[in-house]
């Protein structure tokens, strides 16, 4: 991904909008007893399209905004989303452009990773209460929703940053120019 000021601005607007939408809309949805974590899927998509650095910085920024808007411990979501964005980006850098199946699987597994990291941070910071098995169920259902939503979210993010994508520029360059029609 070629990061121009325009693309950085687009990513910033996308991040702010998705953080607000996560809080006021997606978190209030009830899908099989949990809610979709679309903000995390956006971070995964940015990592898969832009690499580890872009993924980590985007994840950190969106996570920090969520921490602020939720009045929760500053750094908790930032650390979680930065980890997820970095791992998604490293996948892109080491394996290459992911197939659709890989995107879906990464959406699910990295959503699960996000749930594990946030749980580790909570337990690490000394949560003092009985933890129900439903926490595990919630993480699993959330990751299954991540599998389903990963491809649509990636398509939307790709649309937003399309002009910065190196692969698509190369593909466009490779398309042969139309031959002139010979007359006579």
Which residues of this protein are in contact with other proteins, per CB under 8 A?
A: 16, 20-32, 34-35, 37, 39, 52-53, 56-57, 60, 64-76, 78-79, 82, 86, 115, 118-119, 121-122, 125, 127-135, 137-138
Closest contact distance (angstroms) between CB of 93 and other proteins is: 9
Picking from 70, 81, 90, 91, the residue whose alpha carbon sits closest to that of residue 39 is 81
Closest contact distance (angstroms) between CB of 28 and other proteins is: 5
Q: Output 123 or 171, the one with its CB closest to other proteins.
A: 123
* Residue whose tokens read 């939307």: 156
Closest contact distance (angstroms) between CB of 173 and other proteins is: 22
Q: Output 99 or 152, the one with its CB closest to other proteins.
A: 152
Give, in order, the Cα–Cα distances in Å from 153 to each of 33, 37, 48, 73, 177: 21, 11, 12, 27, 32
φ/ψ of 75, rounded to 5, equals 110, -20
Q: Output 7 or 79, the one with its CB closest to other proteins.
A: 79
Q: Say how far apart CA 184 and CA 125 lie, in whole Å.
A: 81
Q: What are residue 34's DSSP bridge partners?
A: 31
Closest contact distance (angstroms) between CB of 95 and other proteins is: 16
């Amino acid at each position: 991904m070629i990061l121009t000021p325009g693309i950085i601005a687009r990513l910033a607007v996308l991040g702010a909008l998705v953080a607000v939408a996560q809080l006021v809309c997606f978190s209030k949805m009830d899908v099989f007893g949990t809610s979709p974590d679309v903000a995390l899927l956006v971070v995964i998509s940015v990592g898969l399209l832009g690499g580890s650095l872009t993924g980590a910085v985007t994840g950190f920024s969106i996570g920090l905004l969520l921490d602020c808007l939720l009045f929760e411990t500053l750094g908790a979501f930032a650390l979680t989303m930065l980890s997820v964005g970095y791992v998604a980006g490293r996948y892109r850098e080491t394996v290459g452009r992911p197939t659709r199946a890989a995107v879906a699987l990464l959406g699910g597994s990295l959503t699960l990773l996000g749930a594990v990291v946030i749980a580790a941070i909570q337990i690490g910071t000394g949560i003092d209460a009985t933890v129900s098995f439903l926490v595990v169920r919630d993480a699993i259902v959330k990751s299954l929703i991540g599998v389903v939503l990963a491809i649509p979210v990636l398509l939307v993010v790709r649309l937003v940053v399309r002009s910065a994508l190196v692969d698509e520029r190369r593909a466009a360059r490779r398309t042969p120019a139309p031959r002139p029609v010979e007359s006579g």
